[in-house]
Structure 1
Amino acid sequence: MSVKKVRYYLFLKDILLLSVTAFGGPQAFLAMLLERMVKVRGYISEDDLWELNALCNMLPGPSSTQLVSAIGFRVGGPNLAYLALIVWILPATMLMTGAALLISFLQQNTPGALNFARFIQPMAIGFIIFAAQKTIGKMVQSTEAMVLMMISAFVSFFYSSPYIFPVLLLIGGISTSIKYKKQPKLEKDAPLKIQWPNFYLWGGVLVLAAILGGITKSHEILLFENFYRNGSLIFGGGQVLVPYLYTEFVDFKHFLSSEEFLTGYAISQAIPGPTFSIASYVGALSMREGGTLGFLFGGLIGAAGIFLPGIFLIFFVIRFWDQLKVYRPVRAALEGINAVSCGMLIAAAYLLFEPLEANGMNIFFILATYSMLQFTKISSPAIIAGGVTLGILYNYFLA
């Protein structure tokens, strides 16, 4: 086996390991990515990681999944990137589809058993606070960046519309790009050349799914179009996606009950991998009338619809990113984009806490989770498993 093939094999093995151990959403995932992909393996430099992360935050879709694919593209081109994508999303997709099957079974056979996830949501906030601390320490290095972060957090909290996120990112990027003269000059190897096929693919699928859904009224095609449209428009990660899915599939289409959706959300915080995998859970329950095959097909439709648009877009941009970042205003803009992203992360922690009852038990689990992550070497899976176990015990003995 050639050295190159061994390197690709190790890369996919590392992605698989992350896919089954990365808890806490994309920001918590960044710390693990930095440790394994940069410090241990040296696939890319730390500066490259932060640049790619900023690039993914500028695009709609699942940032962690886009980042994994972008790193795969850098290491071994598009073929390795697509393999990395599959390896990264498959465990979470299978787990959330299985969760939908389990929830449906429990509802039919064990009423009231869904309370086992009662402690997972406050624990997820603890994960996000810990991730925010680590990420801010890396990305916010100047007074201007600190101010941008606080403004972004304030605006994101009080105006939690998904349309505000791209505006904030744009403003943040522009506000620091004016300091481009502080950036060192880099020689341009070649004029900027944009390859459009992946952009056309993204737009073509969006239009085609809408047309076919409107003509055929097929439940499967309409379901795919719903997820693909959401995946094409959502900036700010899985926490922004959740209220959109709730509105569309619970309030408007009534494919799920509120209890089913919120239980699925809690489970999505308790499993490793991309937080966008909740789409597989929603898709599976949306097709429950088809039996077991309906659950499986719905889970695959949810995954394909929610992940594909972001992947098409990152593969479009990554091909000319190295040429684009040579321009000093572009590199200067990354400081503002990173700062705004950190502000969104702070707001996400507040917005997640808002619907929780502000009681001592929820606050205890938030602080306990943060403290274990900060001051102990207990692994994330062990912390989550402990929360689920306590939820089960509470449900059967104290509820």
Structure 2
Amino acid sequence: MVSARLGFTSFGGPIAHLGYFHDEYIRKRRWMDDKDYADLVALCQFLPGPASSQVGIGMGVMRAGVLGGIVSFLGFTLPSVIALIIFALIFQGVDVSDAGWIHGLKIVAVAVVAHAILGMAQKLTPDIKRKAIALLAMVVTLLWQTAYSQIGIILLSALLGFLIYREQEADSGGRVSFPVKSSIAKVCLVLFFGLLILLPILREVTSIHLIAMFDSFYRSGSLVFGGGHVVLPLLEREFVTTGWLSEEAFLAGYGAVQAVPGPLFTFASYLGAVMNGWTGGLLATVAIFLPAFLLILGTLPYWDTVRRNPKAKGALMGVNAAVVGILISAFYQPIWTSTIRVPLDFAFAAILFSMLVYWKLPPWLVVLTGAIGGTVMSLV
């Protein structure tokens, strides 16, 4: 199976994955032409969620309908899911709370997330109005940290974007069609928004641990734009700050996910397994990828209409800007406040950031450098 081979060999993050897909599906197998592939990538970059996984799902749908999308997703995702759940089960019971390499990984997280957010801000908040929406989202989510704050600010930002950018010019690109029935798409969109609204309510009403866990992973998967690294602050806020998971366990998994192929969102598989065994790992995997699946299936038939509608486009521009603000607040608390404590921490973070951004070194090498550097710093 082509997708399974890609799942075992696709290292390097979302951008690299898109290159692997193009080589395998477009250049070698010619399952679609370059224009249709570019349209599919544009849609997945536009939606929240793991873009490379959504492109893989879309390719499967184009080839063999909804079942093809499911098979493509499983082939690409399962290898790293299995590897990270096994790592989590082995990791349990190992005390690394005082290990210097853990602090080094925390500093790596600062550099990686800062890089991801800067890239998002340049694309999603290019003008003063969207910067203001991002600022509002940051302030609200810093001062009002509840299960409803992120959803509330997203809805408010959609309204602001609709009002501010309703005169936005429509997209004039070519038309593209995808083989998904509109009835299936409608069900998927209703499920996406329904779960986003109902899960926090069920969490408060029932106080059931697995529902709360599913809600946290689902919301994290629903609010991420820009690739897998950006989900890190959302997951840390959901599980480390609330005491469900130790920071040491969180960062050990972050180091492990850099060493496996496939989508970075499978970090959730590790987190779920640490908290609730292999069943928790599977639950977390389903919860964090479910929004991506529902969105790609729900929007494929309507993509041309939405991108040509100025009012809908304006609302989405507001939402994109708000996500930047939400991520900045999560980056500050807890990532920055728990990590950068002394000048040496900041200096090392600057070095790692430069390695990643300016020298273009692979993320796994930055992670390795962070672990070694943290160990050395603990001995100084």
TM-score normalised by structure 2 residue count: 0.71
User: Which residue number corresponds to residue 389 of structure 1?
Assistant: 372
Alignment counterpart, residue 371 of structure 1, candidates 354, 360, 376 = 354
Q: Aligned residue for 2:167?
A: 181
Distance in 2 (alpha carbons) for counterparts of 1:355 and 1:278: 20
> Do structure 1's residue 300 and structure 2's residue 285 form an aligned pair?
no
Check the 8 A contact 1:116/1:392 in 2, yes or no.
yes
CA contact (8 A) 2:175 2:304 kept: no
Q: Which runs of 5+ in 1 are unaligned?
A: 1-7, 23-28, 57-61, 215-221, 251-257, 288-294
The answer to whether structure 1 residue 228 and structure 2 residue 214 are counterparts is yes
Paired residue type of 1:304: V
Segment drifting more, 31-40 vs 166-175:
31-40
Offset at residue 74 of structure 1 (A) = 6.7
CA separation in 2, counterparts of 1:189 and 1:51?
11
2:238 is aligned with 1:244: yes
RMSD: 4.2
Q: Which residue does 1:340 correspond to in 2?
A: 322
Kindly provide the CA deviation profile for residues 108-138 of structure 1, in whole angstroms up to 9, marking residues without a partner as x. Answer: xxx7675432211121111111122222222
Matched residue of 1:355: which SS? helix
Asked if 2 retains the 8 angstrom alpha-carbon contact of 1:126 and 1:366, the reply is: yes
**Structure 1, residues 115-168: CA drift from partner, whole Å, max 9, x if none?**
432211121111111122222222333332222223223333333434222222
Matching residue within 266, 269, 293 for 1:280: 269
Deviates more, 1:274-283 or 1:141-150: 274-283
Name the residue aligned to 1:330.
Answer: 312
Question: How far apart, in 1, do the equivalents of 2:78 and 2:171 lie?
Answer: 42
Alignment of 1:142 onto 2:127: yes
* Structure-2 change in CA distance of 1:249 and 1:309 (3 Å): farther
C-alpha contact 2:237 2:330 (8 A) present in aligned 1: no
Match of 1:291 in 2: none
Contact 1:37–1:44 under 8 Å retained in 2: no
Secondary structure of 1:182's counterpart equals coil
* 8 Å CA contact retained: 1:97, 1:280: yes
What does the per-residue CA deviation read over 1:169-209, in whole Å, with 9 as the maximum and x for residues that have no partner?
2222222323333323879999x9543444687779x99xx
Which secondary structure does the structure 1 equivalent of 2:47 belong to?
helix
1:35-54 matched pairs, under 5 angstroms: 42=34, 49=41, 51-54=43-46
Matches within 5 A, 1:1-399: 9=2, 17-18=9-10, 20-22=11-13, 29=14, 42=34, 49=41, 51-56=43-48, 62-64=49-51, 67-68=54-55, 71-72=58-59, 76=63, 77-104=65-92, 106-107=94-95, 114-178=99-163, 179-184=165-170, 193-195=182-184, 196-198=186-188, 225-234=211-220, 235-237=222-224, 238=231, 239-246=233-240, 250=244, 261-270=246-255, 271-272=257-258, 276-286=265-275, 295-308=277-290, 310-312=292-294, 314-351=296-333, 352-392=335-375, 398=379
Counterpart in 2 of 1:254?
A: none
Q: 3-state DSSP class of the match of 1:119?
A: helix
Q: Which amino acid aligns with 2:342?
A: N
Quick one: distance in 1 between partners of 2:376 and 2:176? Answer: 63
> Per-residue CA shift, 1:341-361, capped at 9, x if unaligned?
222232232121122252123
The CA distance in 2 between the partners of 1:189 and 1:394, in whole Å, is: 54
The one-letter amino acid paired with 2:216 is N
Deviates more, 1:344-353 or 1:320-329: 320-329
Where 1:106 maps in the other structure, the secondary structure is coil
Which moved further from structure 2: 385-394 or 126-135? Answer: 385-394
Deviates more, 1:165-174 or 1:304-313: 304-313
With over 3 angstroms needed to count, the CA separation of the structure-2 counterparts of 1:154 and 1:74, relative to structure 1, is farther
Distance 1:139 1:198, change over 3 A: closer
Structure 2: distance between partners of 1:335 and 1:64: 18
SS of residue paired to 2:254: helix
1:13-57 CA distances to partner (integer Å, 9 max, x unpaired)?
666655x322xxxxxx4x55677778997576767645534432x
Residue ranges of structure 2 left out of the alignment (5+ in a row): 28-33, 225-230
In the aligned structure 2, how far is the partner of 1:284 from the partner of 1:185?
Answer: 43
Query: How many residue pairs were aligned?
Result: 343
Secondary structure in 1 aligned to 2:12? coil
Letter in 1 for 2:236: V
Residue type of the alignment partner of 1:240 = L
| Cα distance, 1:321–1:339 mapped onto 2, change above 3 Å | same
Flag the 1:314–1:223 CA change in 2: closer, same or farther, 3 A: farther
